[in-house]
Structure 1
Amino acid sequence: MDRTIPTHGYIDEGLRKAYDAYVDNIMRGVSPHEAALRVGLLPEKVEQWVRAAECDPYIIERKRAAMKTLDARTVWSAETAVIHLLRLVESPYTKDSAKVMAIDRLNVLLGITIIDDKGNTRKIGRTLADFYEDVAGSGAVPGAQHDVQRH
């Protein structure tokens, strides 16, 4: 809460607290719609309230002040990215193609895969393709029967 931002005399204490909480949620990456719900708005009132709030001089100045003091390291980290990506993967509203992309990113973040020089996602360590390359280089034929000497 920043009491140095003028309320222009039309904002009472309750609205100021709601606006402050709204901006705090916005600064944590929450959508305006979700931020309004989190401050207690009824779903049917959210759209109109957000439009009014986003044009309000108090909100505009409060967001400007918050942006000046924002330390991105406190609001985003690898762990935060993982949580947001997992939400996408687990959401019934996420399209399958977006889920696949989120899974790819999760695998990279968690060190399961890497993105190679060509932009392809590859498993870290040896893959089945690596095995076949080794076999081809040795002259052996995969699946062929070999004579085994028994002693």
Structure 2
Amino acid sequence: MRRDYFIGIEQHSSNSPLALPDVIAELAFNEQGLIPVITQDASTKSILMFAWMNVEALEKTISTRRMTYWSRSRQRLWVKGETSGHVQRLVSMSFDCDGDAILCLVDQQGAACHTGRQTCFYLQVEPDKQLVWVERGCA
């Protein structure tokens, strides 16, 4: 069980790194072969977007340092900025404690969202009033 792998490395010495291919092999990709990715601005720490990666996208991101995702709508790899010019360069990558999510800190050039906003998370919830506000600011 993949969870057992991650439980087993909780106390692993920080002086003895793990081989990246071994850890990738243990990640919890879903039944479609995808894993969720949160992308965060390395400078501002703003959450920019949520997307998915398959193994190929993950390996391409690591090798090129350009964020590459799996587009579920297009059913193909999607290099962020390949058409918009709004490139994301990988600064750092982390896997969560269960191996079922990835966090990438990036250098964002231009807008992260296809709407032209800096972040995809522009729908602000006001729970007490049961309202959602649309932030109008663009990049």
Relative contact order higher in (CA < 8 Å, ≥ 6 apart):
2
TM-score, normalization by structure 1: 0.23
Structure holding more strand per residue: 2
Highest CA radius of gyration, 1 or 2? 1
TM-score, normalization by structure 2: 0.24
